[in-house]
């Protein structure tokens, strides 16, 4: 016999779909089928059932082999490492729940660490832009119910956020958008002819690295000012037409991704895109939203902000919180040799960081907490496998539009395995003793 | 639990009518008890020559939730050089106009505040609001979900379906663990979804074919149908614009003829919030002037209305409100960074930094209006002190506002310091006002009054045996004349002792305990209403972006220490 | 004026935060009192004397105090932070935040500085004889009030984001600059004697940029309006004149629309 768990939340991307149905065995130990999810989301659930899963912490030995140790020993090792370090870096947090994030922050505060999430290599630049100029935005349901002008700028939801267009942005029939896709005009700005671009009414094939100029040209067009004949590879006439198309809508939205956040101009691209959005509000209603990657990177930013006042790259070393990407951000801390211990949870810097930073991680005392074996666990001294968040344990997560959704547990983790929060609680309690606060 | 006896203080307690007499206050098991009910082991606190009051109650502040956190996220400069480091188990705390959750709890406690209401909870984001409330130490908190632009409410009220509106309100209060029915720019925020607004109570809401006046009256009726502890809590239309006092009077008049129905001792049917922002005369910023008198004349004679002030504190701050169109208007005026969030089917919010400069005439007039409202109030049990934190200034400035209210000399000094002093005097009433708020009136305006308005008068806001032991001792002697008004500010900034539910949380102005904070919410039971349940189901299937099963705030993570106030509206 | 010399003897393993090294913090202190001032390495607090040899005493006030920093201070942050008067000379290169939030006095670095030098500067003089990193004379994150006064001279090159949110004061760069100059500025002047890349004056509301060398790509929001003759540092030359950012909001002064100005030497 099996049973079906409904309204399951998908712990993959920032779209945070919450309509999944998952079939599990009657004893709640095995997961057999996943409905409604995209291919990646389905895989995420099924992967928890892998037979070769590591289920106990492993400590690297001098000869390079792993030795299985208990969770208590792993907590002791982690607590000692963090308590001894002068500037430990606690990185990741984007693929775990807010409960674990909160517990991690308590530890970070006690040991005087730097805390950073994956925004550091993703939408951190968006946050810098938001700090400079603000952000007019909305929830995804507003797009579904009202939006008739949809811009995808430097993002490719067809592959990166597979259900985004069907659930929220292009196809759904909402309250004021009863004709679904027919109610909407779609503009894609991308140097490549992506699968998303192929669906667009207008595709502006911007010259690489010139998004800032193109966004500026949109604003110049809104002001009816002089424009050079061609900007960023696009004829001025086409830019003016696209600007008019935006103005003529009732409710517009710009979605943007790493094509603009991590290319030349970075935060400035977003800054000008937000300025354009604000500018369009003089003519009609317009919003803008980052296509956040990890399912709970947004949550990490939220929890950090209400506890310390900053959304990422928070330096707690001096007993109070400071923030300045370029100084307190992970890549800079590693590349400049500022950190002396590396703690990773809910992310895989080993696979995504510049090689110089990965080499640095390999040289430092390091702990990696992750259900998977990853390039990061590969270079870490201690690997602590934990239950899959959103599959084997619930907890709160924040969608790309900052809407919080409580995730559901659908199956039990393998016997004896701890969750992120449970393991961190052990570490917290031990750190408290080491710091004389217990 | 430890027992305490606070001895020989000057007690100010409107609940028992004690006006500064020397008396002892005894604490046992988290409650106030009679002096003879504590044992000889009770720890004595010497309050000789000091002022003793109940814990103060914040009736309206933006301290938890998505728009507050947008403020934190997008204003790193608000934290710069403001941090106090971690100390033992007391967490690090920072931020000025939008402090971190830890700082919020600590700062309220240090000033002697023990209960606070988050003034605008977007229902879809209730889980976020509750996560922040959980991380705000010491103080008990509730949150007001916003209803004034809600599609269900507008559709039911279009057909005057009060019972359905009430059933929906009860459902939403339960789903969001909310405390009261809040309205922000009714209808106007829905209009903002199309870039429009409703500037009077009679402007029709686009598509929904209803007016703000109909929404307001309908929600008063639904509120009294349910018999909730608090009345509707309204931020009316046309906030912040010259000449808006007429819209405010139009709004207040909608309460006419309604009588409060509840078992909580509440008398009002409408609470008008941050009244300062709604008491403006003139046609433009050039001839902008105070209309506090016109507003207070109406409020003074209307026993079914309570208000709070929204005092401008003359600081750099961060404005934030569910009045989306207002924040857009503001960013067009001051060109500072603008955040906006439109929330599907429910509401919106905007955030813009603002500098209330004493050198700008309009800011100085706003400062005067806020004080005038309190100084003109005939019944301090119906007029409460707020700064609409952080909109007119941070709540940490309450001691300064209290100084201005208690000392004509302090007001005079501030008026003199304004760059446009003469023009400010000409546009306001403040210069001629010699009233000084007494400590008893202060206790009414910050303790007993808000407790009564919120329907919490059986629990807090007083020192009667049986009530929660929320007690504050201020190092302020009512016997001695105040040589320098700054003494008032200093005394109310850092209480000598603060007890929350019988636990000493502040000693000599420093936080000593993280307390055991509670989340207060209202559980209203109504008759089964299959139509409303069907409507809810349908809206989730068709128009919401989350499923109904994932909407509710549930469980230990969101509401770890709930205090539910039960309301039975099944009869 | 009294001179205090501090010489790096025991370099930090990580980086050192020396926000107490400024004429304001040294003023009125003897050499041994100065050696007791706090410095921070990660989460550990120790004293200046643990890392530096201190010689000489400070003057009674910041104005009467000159500090000379010797030895390898490439891994020392915040030198001259918030200084209001007096003089600070760094013999060599230093790390982040040199002269951040300074309001007066004279700070000279004979080598290079890393990012965030003169963040939020309000007054005084900063001279960098080598190169400057990114965000020279820029605003702190989120603040719309960047450099509002004072003068910065860079004899070498500067990184990206020079003068972001600048409101006043002057920055002169004898060498080249990286992308983004005076973004969001509403006043002040940046002179680039060498070459610039692109994104100059993006979202500029008011202020002046002068470029002697080349510009790789102009912003579309800068409209050519003719040529002018300008006198810079006593020498006259002809410049192409652009106004912008025409995409940005406009300020008005006495009924006239204000634009930012960009001059490029012909």
DSSP codes of every residue in C71-93 = S-BTTEE-TTTT--SSEEEESS-
Quickly state the pLDDT bin for A309 (edges 50, 70, 90): very high
Q: Do A112 and C203 touch (CB under 8 A)?
A: no
Q: What pLDDT is stored for residue C198 in this prediction? A: 97
Confidence of residue B557 (pLDDT cuts 50, 70, 90): confident
User: Do B294 and B397 share a domain, yes or no?
Assistant: yes
CB C188 within 8 A of CB C150: no
The pLDDT of residue A1:
83
Residue at B443 is within a domain:
yes
CA angle, corner B56, sides to B51 and B61, nearest 5?
A: 145
Position B204 pLDDT exceeds 90? yes
The one-character DSSP state at B508 is: T
**pLDDT tens-digit profile of B436-454?**
999 999 999 999 999 999 9
Residues spanned by the domain of B506: 4-53+462-511
For domain A124-290, give the fold: Dimethylsulfoxide Reductase; domain 2 (3.40.228)
pLDDT band, residue C233 (cuts 50/70/90): confident
CATH number of the domain encompassing residue B466: 2.30.40.10
Q: What angle do CA B482, B484, B485 make, to 5 degrees?
A: 80
**pLDDT tens digit string along B2-46?**
999 999 999 999 999 999 999 999 999 999 999 999 999 999 999
Token look-up 């900052």 returns: A402
Question: Which among A128, A220, A265 has CB closest to C179?
Answer: A265
Segment C54-78, tens digit of pLDDT: 999 999 999 999 999 999 999 999 9
CATH number of the domain where residue B132 is located: 3.20.20
Query: From B64, which residue of chain A is nearest by alpha-carbon distance?
Result: A306
pLDDT (average), residues B314-335: 97
Separation between Cα atoms, residue C247 and residue C244, nearest integer Å: 8
Is B526 inside any structural domain? no
Both B13 and B123 in one domain: the answer is no
Backbone angles phi, psi at A134, to 5 degrees: 90, -170
pLDDT tens profile B39-60: 999 999 999 999 999 999 999 9
Q: Where are the domains of chain A?
A: 2-47, 58-122+295-434, 124-290
- Among the listed residues A395, A420, A307, A389, the one whose alpha carbon sits nearest the alpha carbon of residue B555: A395
Is B546 contained in some domain?
no
Residue range A239-254, pLDDT digits in tens:
999 999 999 999 999 9
CATH dotted code for A58-122+295-434: 3.40.50.740
Structure tokens at C30: 């003897």
pLDDT band at B556 (very low <50, low <70, confident <90, very high): confident
Collapsing DSSP to helix, strand or coil, B2 comes out as coil
Q: Would you place residue C253 in the very low, low, confident or very high pLDDT band (cuts 50, 70, 90)?
A: confident
- The region that residue A296 occupies, defined by phi over 0 for left and psi between -120 and 50 for alpha, beta otherwise, is alpha
In-domain check, residue B559: no
The residues pairing with C237 across neighbouring beta strands, listed in sequence order, are C230
CB C218 within 8 A of CB A231: no
Burial degree of C106 (CB within 10 A; 0-12, 13-18, 19+) = buried
Q: Considering CB atoms only, which of B100, B195, B207 is closest to A309?
A: B100
Are residues B468 and B20 in contact, defined by beta-carbon separation less than 8 angstroms? no
Instruction: Mark out the alpha helices in B349-392 (DSSP H runs).
Output: 361-376
In a domain, B238, yes or no: yes
Same domain, B258 and B300: yes
Examine the domain organization and report whether B70 and B124 are in the same domain: yes
Under a CB-based contact definition with an 8 Å cutoff, are residues A316 and A340 in contact? Answer: no
Same domain for B49 and B61: no
User: Can you read off the two tokens belonging to residue B507?
Assistant: 């000693």
Q: Hey, are the CB atoms on B75 and C144 less than 8 Å from each other?
A: no
Q: Is B503 helix (H, G, I), strand (E, B) or coil?
A: strand
Residue A199 CB coordination number (10 Å): 16
Is residue B48 located within the same domain as residue B86? Answer: no
Distance CA A161, CA A295 (A): 11
Nearest CA in chain A to C164: A132
| List of residues 6+ apart from B522 with CB closer than 8 A | B173, B178, B179, B180, B228, B229, B564, B565, B567
Q: At residue C260, does pLDDT exceed 90?
A: yes
CA distance B528 to B291: 46
Rounded distance between C-alpha atoms, residue A91 and residue A94, angstroms = 9
Q: Does C163 touch chain A (CB under 8 A)?
A: no
- Nearest residue on chain B to C143, alpha-carbon basis: B77
For residue C226, the tally of other CB atoms under 10 A from its CB is 9
Residue A57 C-alpha, separation from nearest chain B C-alpha, in angstroms:
27
Cα B317–Cα B319–Cα B324 angle in degrees, nearest 5: 165
Tell me which residue of B281, B256, B270 sits closest to B305, measured CA to CA: B270
ipTM of this complex: 0.97
User: What are phi and psi for residue B389, nearest 5 degrees?
Assistant: -40, 135
- Percent of chain A clearing pLDDT 70 (strictly above): 100
Count CA atoms closer than 13 A to A172's CA, side-chain side: 23
What number is the average pLDDT over the span B371-397? Answer: 98
| Per-residue pLDDT, B481 | 87
Residue C122 forms contact with A (CB below 8 Å): no
* pLDDT at position A28 over 90: no
Residues of C in contact with A218 (CB under 8 A): 247
The contacts of residue B1 (CB under 8 Å, 6+ apart) are: B28, B29, B30, B502, B503
In this predicted model, what pLDDT tens digit does every residue of C168-205 receive, in sequence order? Answer: 999 999 999 999 999 999 999 999 999 999 999 999 99
Residue B76 to residue C142, Cβ atoms within 8 A = yes
Task: Report how far Cα B400 is from the mean position of its chain's Cα atoms.
Answer: 17
Question: Looking at beta carbons, which residues of chain C come within 8 Å of B75?
Answer: 142
Q: What is the mean pLDDT of residues A283-292?
A: 97
Contacts of B512-517 spanning 24+ positions with Cβ under 8 A? B513/B138, B514/B89, B514/B90, B514/B105, B514/B137, B514/B138, B515/B105, B515/B109, B515/B137, B515/B138, B515/B139, B516/B561, B517/B105, B517/B133, B517/B136, B517/B137, B517/B138, B517/B139, B517/B140, B517/B141, B517/B561
The helix (run of H) or strand (run of E) holding residue B144 is strand B140-145
* Cα Rg of chain B (Å, integer): 22
pLDDT digits (tens, 9 = 90+) for A115-164: 999 999 999 999 999 999 999 999 999 999 999 999 999 999 999 999 99
Are the C-beta atoms of residues B176 and B346 closer than 8 Å to each other?
no
User: Based on the domain organization, do B45 and B81 belong to the same domain?
Assistant: no
% of chain C at pLDDT higher than 70:
100
User: Taking 90 as the threshold, does the pLDDT of residue B508 lie above it?
Assistant: yes
Rounded percentage of chain A residues whose pLDDT exceeds 90: 98
Indicate whether this model's pTM tops 0.90: yes
* B347/B344 Cα distance (integer angstroms): 7
Q: Is B565 part of a structural domain of the chain? A: no
DSSP A194-210: -TTGGG-SEEE-PPTT-
DSSP designation for C168: S
- Answer whether residue B84 shows pLDDT above 90: no
**A315 in contact with B, Cβ within 8 Å:** no
Percent of chain B predicted with pLDDT > 90: 97
- Chain A: residue nearest B338 by CA? A134
Residue B102 lies in a domain: yes
What number is the average pLDDT over the span B233-239? 98
Burial class from Cβ neighbours inside 10 Å (0-12, 13-18, 19+) for residue B426 reads exposed
**Residue B1: per-residue pLDDT:** 81
Q: Which of A138, A175, A319 sits opposite B341 (nearest CB)?
A: A138
Provide mean pLDDT across the span B484-502: 98
In this structure, what token pair is assigned to residue B436?
């000084």
- Tally the domains of chain B: 2
**Residue B479 burial by Cβ neighbours in a 10 Å radius (0-12, 13-18, 19+):** exposed
Determine how many CB atoms are found less than 10 A away from the CB of residue B303.
13
Give me the sheet containing A20-25, strands edge to edge.
A2-8, A20-25, A31-35
| pLDDT band per the 50, 70, 90 thresholds, residue A420 | very high
C246 Cβ under 8 Å from any chain A Cβ:
yes
CA atoms within 13 A on the CB side of B34: 2
B367 falls within a domain = yes
B75 lies within 8 A of chain C by CB: yes
> What is the rounded distance in angstroms from the CA atom of residue C244 to the CA atom of residue C208?
10
Q: What pLDDT does residue B187 have? A: 98
Taking residues A406-427, what's their average pLDDT?
97
Shortest Cα distance, chain C CAs vs residue A375, angstroms: 26
What value does the mean pLDDT take over residues A287-295? Answer: 96
- Best mutation site among C78, C143, C165, C203 for testing chain B: the one with the most B CBs within 10 Å? C143
**Virtual CA dihedral for B150, B151, B155, B157, nearest 10 degrees?**
0
Q: Are residues B28 and B103 in the same domain?
A: no
């Amino acid at each position: 016999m099996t049973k079906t768990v409904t309204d399951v939340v998908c712990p993959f991307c920032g779209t945070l779909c919450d309509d999944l149905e998952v079939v599990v065995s009657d004893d709640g130990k095995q997961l057999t089928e996943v409905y409604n999810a995209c291919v990646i989301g389905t895989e995420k659930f099924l992967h928890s059932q892998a037979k070769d899963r590591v289920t106990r912490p492993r400590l690297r030995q001098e000869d390079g082999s792993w030795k299985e140790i208990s969770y208590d020993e792993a907590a002791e090792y982690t607590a000692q490492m963090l308590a001894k370090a002068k500037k430990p870096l606690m990185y990741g947090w984007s693929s775990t729940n807010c409960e674990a994030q909160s517990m991690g922050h308590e530890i970070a505060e006690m040991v005087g660490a730097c805390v950073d999430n994956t925004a550091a290599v993703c939408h951190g630049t968006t946050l810098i832009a938001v700090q400079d100029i603000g952000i007019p935005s909305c929830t995804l349901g507003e797009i579904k119910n009202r939006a008739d002008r949809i811009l995808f700028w430097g993002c490719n939801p067809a592959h990166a956020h597979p259900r985004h267009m069907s659930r929220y942005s292009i196809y759904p029939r909402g309250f004021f958008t009863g004709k679904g896709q027919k109610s909407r005009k779609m503009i894609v700005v991308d140097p490549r002819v992506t699968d998303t671009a192929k669906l667009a009414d207008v595709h502006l094939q911007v010259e690489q690295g010139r998004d800032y100029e193109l966004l500026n040209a949109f604003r110049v067009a809104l002001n009816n000012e002089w424009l050079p004949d061609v900007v960023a590879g696009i004829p001025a006439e086409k830019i003016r037409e696209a600007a008019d198309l935006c103005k003529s809508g009732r409710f517009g939205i710009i979605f943007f991704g790493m094509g603009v956040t991590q290319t030349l101009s970075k935060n400035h691209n977003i800054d000008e895109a937000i300025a354009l959005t604000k500018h369009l509000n003089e003519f009609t209603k317009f919003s803008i939203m980052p296509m956040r990657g990890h399912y709970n990177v947004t949550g990490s930013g939220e929890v950090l902000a209400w506890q310390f006042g900053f959304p990422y790259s928070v330096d707690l070393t001096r007993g109070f919180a400071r923030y300045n990407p370029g100084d307190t951000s992970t890549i800079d801390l590693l590349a400049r040799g500022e950190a002396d211990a590396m703690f990773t949870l809910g992310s895989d810097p080993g696979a995504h960081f510049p090689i110089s930073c990965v080499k640095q991680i390999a040289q430092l005392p390091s702990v990696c907490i992750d259900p998977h074996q990853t390039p990061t666990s590969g270079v870490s001294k201690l690997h602590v496998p934990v239950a899959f968040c959103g599959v084997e344990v619930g907890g709160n997560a924040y969608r790309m539009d900052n809407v919080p959704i409580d995730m559901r547990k659908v199956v039990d983790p393998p016997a004896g395995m701890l969750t992120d929060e449970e393991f961190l609680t052990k570490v917290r309690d031990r750190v408290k003793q080491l710091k004389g606060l217990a | 639990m430890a027992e305490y006896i606070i001895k020989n203080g000057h007690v100010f307690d409107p609940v028992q009518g004690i006006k500064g007499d020397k008396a002892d206050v005894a604490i046992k098991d988290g409650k106030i008890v009679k002096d003879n009910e504590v044992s000889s082991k009770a720890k004595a606190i010497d309050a000789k020559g000091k002022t003793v009051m109940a814990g103060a109650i914040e009736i309206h502040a933006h301290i938890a939730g998505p728009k507050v956190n947008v403020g934190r996220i997008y204003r790193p400069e608000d934290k710069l050089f403001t941090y106090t480091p971690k100390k033992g188990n007391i967490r690090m705390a920072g931020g000025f106009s939008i402090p971190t959750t830890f700082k919020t709890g600590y700062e309220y406690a240090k000033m002697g505040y023990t209960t606070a209401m988050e003034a605008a909870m977007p229902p879809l984001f209730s889980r976020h609001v509750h996560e922040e409330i959980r991380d705000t130490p010491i103080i008990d908190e509730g949150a007001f979900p916003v209803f004034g632009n809600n599609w269900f409410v507008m559709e039911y009220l279009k057909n005057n379906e009060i019972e359905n509106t009430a059933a929906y309100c009860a459902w939403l209060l339960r789903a969001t663990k909310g405390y009261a029915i809040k309205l922000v720019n009714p209808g106007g925020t829905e209009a903002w979804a199309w870039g429009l607004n409703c500037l009077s109570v009679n402007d029709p809401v686009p598509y929904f074919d209803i007016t703000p006046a109909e929404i307001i009256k309908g929600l008063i009726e639904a509120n009294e149908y349910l018999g909730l502890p608090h009345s509707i809590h309204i931020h009316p239309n046309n906030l912040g614009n010259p000449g808006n006092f007429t819209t405010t009077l139009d709004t207040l008049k909608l309460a006419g003829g309604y009588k409060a129905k509840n078992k909580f001792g509440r008398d009002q049917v409408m609470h008008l919030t941050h009244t300062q922002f709604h008491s403006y005369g003139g046609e433009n910023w050039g001839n902008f002037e105070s209309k506090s008198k016109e507003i207070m004349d109406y409020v003074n004679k209307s026993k079914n209305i309570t208000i709070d002030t929204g005092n401008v504190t003359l600081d750099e701050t961060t404005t934030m409100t569910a009045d989306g169109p207002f924040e857009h208007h503001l960013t067009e005026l001051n060109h500072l960074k603008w955040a906006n969030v439109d929330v599907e089917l429910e509401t919106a919010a905007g955030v813009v930094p603002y500098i209330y400069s004493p050198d700008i005439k309009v800011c100085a007039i706003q400062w005067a209006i806020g004080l005038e409202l309190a100084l003109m109030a005939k019944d301090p049990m119906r007029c409460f002190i707020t700064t609409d934190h952080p909109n007119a200034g941070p709540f940490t400035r309450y001691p300064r506002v209290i100084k201005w209210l208690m000392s004509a000399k302090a007001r005079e000094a501030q008026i003199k310091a304004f760059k446009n002093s003469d023009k400010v005097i000409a546009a306001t009433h403040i210069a001629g006002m010699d009233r000084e708020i007494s400590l008893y009136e202060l206790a009414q305006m910050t303790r007993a009054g808000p407790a009564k308005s919120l329907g919490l008068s059986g629990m807090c806001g007083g020192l009667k045996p049986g009530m929660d032991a929320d007690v504050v001792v201020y190092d302020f002697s009512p016997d001695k004349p105040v040589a320098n008004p700054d003494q008032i500010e200093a005394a109310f900034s850092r209480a000598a002792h603060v007890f929350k539910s019988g636990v000493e949380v502040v000693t000599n102005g420093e936080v000593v305990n993280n307390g055991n904070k509670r989340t207060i919410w209202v559980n209203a039971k109504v008759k089964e209403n299959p139509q409303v349940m069907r409507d809810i189901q349908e809206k989730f299937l068709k128009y919401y972006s989350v499923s109904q099963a994932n909407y509710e705030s549930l469980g230990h993570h969101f509401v770890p220490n709930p205090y539910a106030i039960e309301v039975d509206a099944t009869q | 004026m009294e001179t205090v010399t501090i010489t790096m003897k025991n370099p930090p393993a990580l980086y050192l935060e020396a926000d107490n090294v400024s004429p304001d913090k040294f003023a009125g202190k003897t050499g041994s009192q100065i050696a007791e001032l706090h410095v921070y390495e990660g989460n550990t607090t120790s004293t200046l004397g643990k890392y530096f040899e201190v010689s000489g005493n400070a003057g009674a006030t910041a104005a009467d105090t000159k500090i000379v920093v010797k030895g390898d201070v490439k891994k020392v942050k915040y030198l001259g932070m918030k200084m209001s008067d007096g003089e600070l000379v760094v013999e060599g290169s230093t790390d982040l935040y040199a002269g951040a939030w300074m309001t007066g006095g004279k700070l000279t670095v004979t080598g290079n500085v890393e990012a965030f030098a003169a963040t939020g500067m309000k007054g005084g003089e900063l001279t960098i004889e080598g190169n400057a990193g990114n965000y020279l004379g820029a605003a702190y994150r989120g603040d719309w009030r960047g450099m509002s006064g004072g003068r910065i001279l860079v004899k070498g090159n500067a990184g990206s984001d020079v003068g972001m949110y600048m409101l006043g004061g002057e920055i002169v760069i004898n060498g080249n600059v990286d992308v983004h100059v005076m973004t969001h500025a509403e006043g002040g002047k940046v002179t680039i004697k060498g070459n610039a890349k692109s994104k100059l004056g993006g979202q500029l509301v008011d202020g002046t940029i002068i470029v002697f060398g080349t510009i790789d790509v102009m912003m579309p929001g800068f409209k050519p309006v003719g040529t002018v003759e300008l006198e810079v540092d006593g020498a006259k030359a002809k410049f192409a004149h652009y106004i912008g950012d025409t995409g940005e909001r406009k300020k008005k002064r006495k009924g006239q629309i204000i634009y930012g100005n960009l001059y490029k030497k012909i």
